Structure 1
Amino acid sequence: MPRKASWQGPGLAAIAAEAEVSTSTVDRVMNGRPNVSARSREAVFSACARLGIAVPGVPKIDAPVAQRLLLRRVLLLSDAGETLNERLASAVGTFNRRAQHLRIDAELQKTSDFNAKTFAKRIVEAAGDYDGILLNSRDDPFVRRAINAAQSKDVPVVCITTDIPQSNRAAYVGMNQFSAGAMAAYLMGRFSKVYEGSVILVASAPYVCQEQRESGFRRVLRAEFPGFHIVESIHSLDDPDSAYANMRRVLQAVPAPIGVYNTAGGNTGIARAISDAGLSGKTIFIGHEGSESSIRLLETGQMEAVLTHDIDGEIERSSAIIAALCDAQTPDERHLKTRRPEILTRYTTE
C-alpha cells in the first residue's frame, strides 16, 4: 500500500505564528491528521490564505474560499420533552436560513432516551469537531465534567433554557426561571376563588430550570397564599402519556385540587387527565412552553396560563455569544442578561 503523502511545504513556523497555534497543530492540519478542533483548523486555513500558502486539496485558496472556511459551526445538544425539542428545531431552522457566518447542527433526544454517560461523551466529541456547543440538558455529574472538558479546549458551551451553573459553562441564555415559578404561584392564587386547599406541583427529571421554578412557586405561595398546600407529583419521561398516567394516579389521591402547576413537559397529557376526572373549568392549570399544543389548550380553556420564553431570541443571542468568544471578544452584555417570562392566556395567543 503506498504511503500517504505528507505535506512538507515551507512556512510551518510562519503559519503557526500567524494562526496563533502550535507548529504541531499546523502539521496535523496540513497532513489531514485527526485530533484537531474545527476552530484550530479554520485558524490555520485562514492564516494560509493571508500568507498565500497553498493548502493540500485546495488548488488556490482565495478570499471567497477563506470566507467559507471561516464559517463557524455550532452543535445544539438537547435532552428535553417533545414540545421543547420541536420548538428548538424550528428556531434552529429559522436561524440557519438567515445566518451567513454561523451554522447550527441539532441533535435532539427525548427525556426518556437520556443516558448521562453517552450524552457526556457526545459533548466531548463535539468539542473536537465544532467551534461551540449549545446545551439544553439536565444537571448531571457526567454532563458537568464534559462541559468542563470542552471549555478546557477553548470550545465555549452555552446553556440555553435550563442552566448548569456548577459547571464551567461560558454562559446561560434564557428566562429567569425563579421568576417564572413565582409568577405561576401569583396567577394561581389570583385565579382561585378559594383560599385553602391542595395544589399539585408537577416535576420530572433533575433540570435546574424546574428546580428554580419550584423554588419561586413555593416562596410566593408560602408568603401570599399560606392556605394552599402543595402536593408533589413526579413523572420521569416528560411526555404526554406518562404525564397523563401520573396525573390520573395523583387525582385519585387528591380528588379536588385548587390547581395544577406543571414545571415540566406533557401539558396535553395533564389536561386530558384533568378532563377525564371531570375537573375541567374547576381546577386551575398553569404550565410552560408556548408550543402549538399548549396554545390549543389555552384557546379551549383547558389551561389558564402558559409561561414561555423566546426560543428564537435565545438561539440568536447564544450564537452571538459563541461567535464573540471564538473571536476572543467579550460578549455583549445584552445577550447575557436573563429575560422575564412571557405570559400567554387564551386572549394573547396570536
Structure 2
Amino acid sequence: MTHRFPIKEVARQSGLSTATVDRVINNRANVSPQTKARVAAAIAELEGQEAQLTARGRRLFFDFVIEAPTRFSREIQKAAEQVLPRIGSAVCRPRFQAQEIMTEDDVTAALSRIAKRGSHGVCIKARDLPTIRAAVDHLIAAGIPVVTLVTDLTTTKRIAYVGLDNQSAGRTAAYLIAKTVGDSAGTVLTSRSQDQFLGEEEREGAFKATLTRQCPNLRVIDASGGSGVHFETSRIMQSVLAGLDQIRAVYSMGGGNMAILNALEHNGSLPDVYVAHDLDNENRQLIEDGRLSFVLHHDLRVDLQNVFQAFLHHHRLTPDPVFTTMSPIQVVTPENIPPQNRCL
C-alpha cells in the first residue's frame, strides 16, 4: 500500500497502533480486511486534508462516530471536507468511524478507544441509550468536548446539538400532508430508522400532534426499525403492509425510501403524498423521478461548519460562540431541487 505519510501519522488518523499500521502497509499476514480498510480510509483522509496543512495554526483532531446508512454518512464526510478549507484559525483533522448499524457495545467501544488515545472533540450521531450517554459523559469528564449531530443526547453534558429543528420538521410534514389529502378518512404510514434516535422521536411526536389537530379522521400506522437500510426496511414493510387498505400518505423520518416505495408499489398502495428527509443521492433521484412529493432538507455543510466552530470556541481558538446551531428547513419539491453540493 503506497503512501507518503509517516506510519505514526497514519496510525493517529486511523486510531490503530503503529505496529498494526506497519503490518498493513507492508502487506504482512494476519491482518483483517476491516483493518486494511481503516488504514486505506485514513490515508485517503490524510491526502484529502493535505492541502489544508499548509495553513498556519494549531492542529486539532476531531472524531466522528456516526450510526447512519452509508449514503448519509458519506454526505456528512463530504460536507466536512467542503467546509474545512474555510476554517482559518486551526488545522482541523477529522477522523470518521461510521456504520449503518452500531450496537450499544459498538458505540461505547469506539468512544472508549477515543478516550484512551485522546481527541480534541467528538461529534456523535447515536441512539439515546443509558450506556451511550454514560460513555459520552466519560469523554467529557476526561476533557474531551462532545457535539451531537442531527439526533441529540439531551441529558449529557455535550457542548452543543447541531442539526435540524426536529419538532419543526415534524410539524411541517404534518402541514404538507394535511394540505394535500385533507381531513378524509384513511391511513398515514410513518417510518423511523430506530426507536432510540431522539431526533426522529421528536419529529414523530410533533408530527402526530399536528396531524391529529388538523386531520382527526386520519389514522397513523407505524413501520419503524429498519435502520434506513434496504433489506431490514423491506422486511418490516412487508409485515406492516399485509392487510392494510389504501395508504393516503407516508412520512419517512429515517430513510430507506427506495425500499418503502418498492414495498408500497408491490402492495398496490402507493400514497397520494410522500414526505421524506434529506437530499442524499437516493432521495435526489427519487424526487427527480416524481416518486417523492416533498423532501425536508437542511444543508449539512452549515451543520458541519457549526460543529467545527463549537469545538474551536471550546478551545478558545475563535472568540465567537455558535449562537444558532439548528438548521432551517428547506421544503424541496420536484420543481425546486437544488444543484448538487458545491463548496460554500
Query: Structure 1 length normalisation: TM-score?
Result: 0.75
- The one-letter code matched in structure 1 to 2:74 is E
Partners of 2:72 and 2:174 in 1: how far apart?
22
Report what 2:81 is aligned to.
Answer: 93
* 1:167 maps to which of 141, 156, 161: 156
- Please give the secondary structure, in 2, of the residue aligned with 1:169: coil
Partners of 2:106 and 2:322 in 1: how far apart?
34
| Aligned positions of 1:1-350 closer than 5 A | 70-99=58-87, 101-111=91-101, 114-127=102-115, 128-192=117-181, 195-205=184-194, 206-280=196-270, 282-327=271-316, 332-334=321-323, 336-350=324-338
Larger Rg: 1
Report what 2:4 is aligned to.
Answer: none
Q: Percent sequence identity over matched residues?
A: 21
C-alpha contact (below 8 Å) 2:273/2:292 kept by paired residues: yes
Aligned-residue Cα RMSD (Å) equals: 2.3
What is the Cα deviation at residue 124 of structure 1? 3.1
- The one-letter code matched in structure 2 to 1:164 is L
C-alpha contact (below 8 Å) 1:83/1:265 kept by paired residues: no
- Please give the secondary structure, in 2, of the residue aligned with 1:302: coil
Structure 1, residues 32-56: CA drift from partner, whole Å, max 9, x if none?
xxxxxxxxxxxxxxxxxxxxxxxxx
Partners of 2:132 and 2:317 in 1: how far apart?
25
C-alpha contact (below 8 Å) 1:78/1:108 kept by paired residues: yes
- Please give the secondary structure, in 2, of the residue aligned with 1:104: strand
Partners of 1:130 and 1:110 in 2: how far apart?
23
- Please give the secondary structure, in 2, of the residue aligned with 1:84: helix
- The one-letter code matched in structure 2 to 1:261 is Y
What is the Cα deviation at residue 116 of structure 1? 0.9
Structure 1, residues 289-342: CA drift from partner, whole Å, max 9, x if none?
1112101111211111111211111111110110110128775243x4423322
Partners of 2:265 and 2:74 in 1: how far apart?
25
Give the unaligned 5+ runs of structure 2: 1-52, 339-344
- Please give the secondary structure, in 1, of the residue aligned with 2:242: helix
What is the Cα deviation at residue 68 of structure 1? 6.6
C-alpha contact (below 8 Å) 2:298/2:330 kept by paired residues: yes
C-alpha contact (below 8 Å) 2:183/2:217 kept by paired residues: no
Report what 1:23 is aligned to.
Answer: none
C-alpha contact (below 8 Å) 1:240/1:265 kept by paired residues: no
C-alpha contact (below 8 Å) 2:164/2:328 kept by paired residues: yes
Structure 1, residues 30-86: CA drift from partner, whole Å, max 9, x if none?
xxxxxxxxxxxxxxxxxxxxxxxxxxxxxxxxxxx9x87821111111011232212
- The one-letter code matched in structure 2 to 1:76 is F
- The one-letter code matched in structure 2 to 1:118 is D
Partners of 1:284 and 1:247 in 2: how far apart?
17
Taking a change above 3 Å as real, the CA distance of residues 279 and 194 of structure 1, as seen in their structure-2 partners, is: farther
What is the Cα deviation at residue 175 of structure 1? 1.3
- The one-letter code matched in structure 1 to 2:283 is S
What is the Cα deviation at residue 134 of structure 1? 0.8
Structure 1, residues 173-204: CA drift from partner, whole Å, max 9, x if none?
11110110111111011111562111111123
Which 10-residue stretch deviates more, 202-211 or 268-277? 268-277
Partners of 2:178 and 2:218 in 1: how far apart?
9
Partners of 1:278 and 1:117 in 2: how far apart?
40
C-alpha contact (below 8 Å) 2:310/2:322 kept by paired residues: no
C-alpha contact (below 8 Å) 1:295/1:346 kept by paired residues: no
Structure 1, residues 205-229: CA drift from partner, whole Å, max 9, x if none?
2100110000110111111111111
Partners of 2:252 and 2:150 in 1: how far apart?
16
Partners of 1:311 and 1:69 in 2: how far apart?
25
Structure 1, residues 236-271: CA drift from partner, whole Å, max 9, x if none?
332122222322332222131111111112011112
Taking a change above 3 Å as real, the CA distance of residues 117 and 176 of structure 1, as seen in their structure-2 partners, is: same
Report what 2:22 is aligned to.
Answer: none
- The one-letter code matched in structure 2 to 1:226 is P
- Please give the secondary structure, in 2, of the residue aligned with 1:74: strand
Report what 1:56 is aligned to.
Answer: none
Which 10-residue stretch deviates more, 130-139 or 86-95? 86-95
Partners of 1:286 and 1:249 in 2: how far apart?
21
